[in-house]
Amino acid sequence: MAMAYLLTGANLGDRKKQLEIAASLIQEWAGSITLSSGCYETAPWGKTDQPAFLNQALCICTTLSPHQLLNTLLQIEQQAGRVRSEKYGPRLLDIDILLYDQLVLQEKDLIIPHPALPARRFALLPLAEIAPTQWHPTEQCSISALLQRCSDAGAVVKVS
């Protein structure tokens, strides 16, 4: 069994419902959810002229390989109605693999740990809620240390 940390996000439609659907399908298709953060409303990143996102970090135990997990998550996004039309554009659902055990993988279609994680407060804050001491294998520090040194000033607010 591998432990993977994921980030789910949505900024179109009923954002909370989209994250609930994502969690349900992840549990059914990808692996057992062992930890989940609260939901965070976050400023858009990369393309700022769009609605705010709702993000949540999940930890799963999975028997899927990294590529099988990626393909499963892409199927879940598609099941939820995601259409990929523009980079960093608005979306019904987005699911990223942040970490997969202590694996370091750099391939054309999959990079683990997620290469932008150290620069994205909207991913680090929910991840730090569920895994503050989790070691980042390429940055050689904990998630809480990464969050402390993150220079991203985008708004990230926990919602009830």
Residues acting as catalytic residues: 82, 91, 94, 96
The residue with tokens 């980030």 is 7
The residue with tokens 């740990």 is 113
**Beta pairing partners, 17:** none
Q: Which H or E run includes 130?
A: helix 121-130
Q: What angle do CA 66, 12, 158 make, to 5 degrees?
A: 75
Contact 110, 66 (CB under 8 A): yes
In three-state secondary structure terms, 59 is strand
Task: Classify residue 54 by its DSSP letter.
Answer: E
Cis? peptide before 137, omega within 30° of 0: no
Q: What is the four-CA torsion angle of 68, 127, 76, 97, rounded to 10 degrees?
A: -30
